[in-house]
Amino acid sequence: MIPWSNGSDCMNLPNLKEAGKRTKQKIQFIEEDYTLDDSLKELGMGKKYYVKTYGCQMNVHDSENIKALLEAMSFEEADNFEEADFILLNTCAIRENAHNKMFGFLGRVKHLKETKPHIITAICGCMAQEETVALALMKKYPWVDLVFGTHNIHRLPYLLEKSMANREQEIEVFSKEGEVIENIPVKRDSKYKAWVNIMYGCDKFCTYCIVPYTRGKQRSRKMEFILKEIEDLVQKGYQEVTLLGQNVNAYGKDLENPTTMGELLEQVAKTGIPRIRFMTSHPWDFDDHMIEVISKYENIMPYVHLPLQSGSNRILKLMGRRYTKEKYLELVSKLKEKIPSLALTTDIIVGFPGETEEDFRETLEVVKKCEYDSAFTFIFSPREGTPAAKMEDHIPLEEKNQRLYRLNDLVNEYANKKNQEYLGKVVKVLIEGPSEKGNLMGYTETMKLVNVDGKEDLIGKIVDVEITDVKTWSLDGKAI
Ligand code: 5AD
Ligand code: SF4
């Protein structure tokens, strides 16, 4: 039996309690080549698909797998959802507004389906893993044909075949710790930079976060498979890889022969890929060896995304973050000292239950000390089933909004200050394609977006660019 064809005939609905369980059960590695039954290979012939992706890079990369699976079934990619026969929404559950966006788009799909009833509609990703969402889809959106989760993307061809044959709503979402499945085909969005998963899931259980429930237990890929994938990308001429995981610094701790992120980074650096990035880091697992390796290899980019979440020790404790403001600042000093050209970005949540003005000011103080290159800032959004959702929250929304504005003002001030340092400098930019302004665009080693004056034949190359103008969120320059 091909492991990915192996489903069950009954509905599999998500269960939050199950999803939050962690047992000592061994992780299963499925390492054989991915094959499709012949009957599936032509199922999409003459049909078009449209995949809409919400959320993080992990989802973006999952969609690259999904697209490859659909093309293996002979579907072709549509330019827009109106011309598609199969519409799939790959969803995000991290905050409430991700929910709202997806239900908004679903409304437009419903409208389209009224005129084109043959369209098959599917929902996958993190929202599908939520019990309440799956139930709502069952009760209120019976016209959604297929719902599947983050653990069974590889089963899409089989699920789709079923949906096309019987047109009854099919829900297959597993709430399990998860396995590691190698060799799912991939259709990469870029020819120059690639996402590479190094691990799945998360066991940190920060009290506000839904990810440990939607993505399962932390499971690292074996290093040999990661390196093989990157060596293959080098062969194909790729210039950059981003190593992806919810908490990449914990890479390898769960393997039967444990290893570390520092070790992995060193081996990836030796493949000769010109640029290596990694995200997301958790301050807890950022060890000295990793810092040493980043500073040692020129092809590991001097860019670290290090979520702070809060600068108040009291709130950090309530968040279950396992570090103090002092430890965080100590790590940042060490990083800045050992990697002089470092660019540092972060994530911050305001309005966590019980956050006082004093707590919030402590966050502002840490922002001043760290001088971030930029920050993603959010208002706390209660996620059903997480411990923080049950905490008493007396802060009025207006106050939360005010804190977000104040924080953003400060973040922008430093973003602008950091960018000013680039004026007149020559930096290396990987040119990714045309920019919206009609020039070219690309990113510096430190992840700054640059609009570049230059010829199209530079696309896909790392070139020297002189910075001629500076804005808060981007730089302008000319290729030299
Ligand atoms: N509310 C607001 N922000 C959240 N994040 C994660 N969960 C929540 C939540 N419930 C933010 C964190 C994380 C980023 C990806 O999203 O800052 O680092
Ligand atoms: Fe969520 Fe990141 Fe915390 Fe894991 S480490 S629970 S993904 S915020």
Q: Are residues 371 and 445 in the same domain?
A: no
**397-420 and 357-370 are packed helices; what angle lies between their axes, rounded to 10 degrees?**
10
E strand or H helix at 266: helix 261-270
Q: Are 445 and 429 in contact (CB under 8 A)?
A: no
- What is the span of the domain harbouring residue 123? 16-172
Q: Are residues 86 and 113 in the same domain?
A: yes
- What CATH number does the domain containing 441 carry? 2.40.50.140
Tokens of 60: 């973006």
| Residue 349 Cβ contacting ligand 1 at under 6 Å | yes
**3-class SS string, 357-425:** HHHHHHHHHHHHHHCCCEEEEEECCCCCCCHHHHCCCCCCHHHHHHHHHHHHHHHHHHHHHHHHCCCCC
Q: Are residues 336 and 258 in the same domain?
A: yes
Q: Are residues 188 and 208 in the same domain?
A: yes
CA atoms lying within 13 Å on the CB side of residue 301: 27
Ligand 1: nearest atom to the Cα of 280: 18
Q: Are 37 and 2 in contact (CB under 8 A)?
A: yes
Tokens of 366: 């840490």
Place of tokens 């103080």: 365
Report yes or no on 414 lying in a domain.
Answer: yes
Distance of CA 33 to the CA centre of its chain: 25
Q: Are 368 and 410 in contact (CB under 8 A)?
A: yes
Ligand 2: nearest atom to the Cα of 347: 8
Nearest Cα residue to atom 3 of ligand 2: 206
Q: For residue 228, give the nearest of 58, 57, 31, 69 by alpha carbon.
A: 31
Q: Are residues 153 and 270 in the same domain?
A: no
Q: Are residues 145 and 186 in the same domain?
A: no
Among residues 420, 445, 470, the one where a domain terminates is: 420
Which pLDDT value is given to residue 442? 98
Report yes or no on 206 lying in a domain.
Answer: yes
Q: For residue 123, give the nearest of 66, 193, 206, 68 by alpha carbon.
A: 66
Q: Which ligand is nearest to the CA of 20?
A: 2
| Residue 307 Cβ contacting ligand 1 at under 6 Å | yes
CB pairs under 8 A, 24+ apart, for 285-290?
285/247, 285/249, 285/250, 285/253, 285/261, 286/249, 286/331, 286/335, 287/249, 287/260, 287/261, 287/262, 288/334, 289/260, 289/262, 289/263, 290/249, 290/260, 290/261, 290/262, 290/265
**3-class SS string, 272-288:** CCCEEEEECCCHHHCCH
Which pLDDT value is given to residue 16? 81
* Residuewise pLDDT in 10s, the chain (480 residues): 456 566 555 568 888 888 888 988 889 999 999 999 998 999 999 999 999 999 999 999 999 999 999 999 999 999 999 999 999 999 999 999 988 999 999 999 999 999 999 999 999 999 999 989 999 998 999 999 999 999 999 999 999 999 999 888 999 998 888 899 999 999 999 999 999 999 999 999 999 999 999 999 999 999 999 999 999 999 999 999 999 999 999 999 999 999 999 999 999 999 999 999 999 999 998 999 999 999 999 999 999 999 999 999 999 999 999 999 999 999 999 999 999 999 999 999 999 999 999 999 999 999 999 999 999 999 999 999 999 999 999 899 999 999 999 999 999 999 999 999 999 999 999 999 998 877 999 999 999 999 999 999 999 999 999 999 999 889 999 999
Please give the Cα distance from 2 to 123 (Å, whole number).
Answer: 24
Encoded amino acid at 362, one letter? E
- What CATH number does the domain containing 215 carry? 3.80.30.20
Tokens of 188: 């990469």
Distance 20 CA to ligand 2 centre (A): 13
Q: Are residues 322 and 399 in the same domain?
A: yes
Please give the Cα distance from 329 to 283 (Å, whole number).
Answer: 10
Mode of pairing for the β-strands spanning 440-444 and 426-434: antiparallel
Distance 378 CA to ligand 1 centre (A): 7
Nearest Cα residue to atom 13 of ligand 1: 347
Nearest Cα residue to atom 1 of ligand 2: 209
Report yes or no on 177 lying in a domain.
Answer: no
Report yes or no on 8 lying in a domain.
Answer: no
Among residues 420, 438, 458, the one where a domain terminates is: 420
Report yes or no on 304 lying in a domain.
Answer: yes
Q: For residue 235, give the nearest of 210, 272, 204, 263 by alpha carbon.
A: 272
Q: Which ligand is nearest to the CA of 388?
A: 1
Place of tokens 């598609």: 84
Which pLDDT value is given to residue 8? 56
Q: Are residues 387 and 245 in the same domain?
A: yes
Q: Which ligand is nearest to the CA of 213?
A: 2
Q: Are residues 398 and 431 in the same domain?
A: no
| Residue 47 Cβ contacting ligand 1 at under 6 Å | no
Which pLDDT value is given to residue 6? 61
Q: Are residues 226 and 362 in the same domain?
A: yes
Tokens of 133: 């969402």
| Residue 192 Cβ contacting ligand 1 at under 6 Å | no
| Residue 213 Cβ contacting ligand 1 at under 6 Å | no
Q: Which ligand is nearest to the CA of 381?
A: 1
Query: What's the angle, vertex CA 325, arms to CA 329 and CA 307, rounded to 5?
Result: 75
Report yes or no on 45 lying in a domain.
Answer: yes
Among residues 149, 172, 195, the one where a domain terminates is: 172
Report yes or no on 7 lying in a domain.
Answer: no
Q: Are 350 and 407 in contact (CB under 8 A)?
A: yes
Number of domains comprising the chain: 3
Report yes or no on 435 lying in a domain.
Answer: yes
Distance 477 CA to ligand 2 centre (A): 37
| Residue 174 Cβ contacting ligand 1 at under 6 Å | no
- What CATH number does the domain containing 94 carry? 3.40.50.12160
> How many other C-beta atoms can be found within 10 angstroms of the C-beta atom of residue 64?
20
Distance 205 CA to ligand 2 centre (A): 6
Ligand 2: nearest atom to the Cα of 280: 2
Q: Are residues 459 and 415 in the same domain?
A: no
Q: Residue 343 pairs with which residues in a beta bridge? A: 303
Q: Are residues 208 and 328 in the same domain?
A: yes
Mode of pairing for the β-strands spanning 426-434 and 303-305: unpaired
Ligand 2 mutation pick, 202, 213, 376, max ligand atoms within 8 A of CB? 202
Please give the Cα distance from 213 to 158 (Å, whole number).
Answer: 25
Distance 164 CA to ligand 1 centre (A): 37
Q: Are 50 and 81 in contact (CB under 8 A)?
A: yes
Please give the Cα distance from 146 to 316 (Å, whole number).
Answer: 39
Q: Which ligand is nearest to the CA of 95?
A: 1
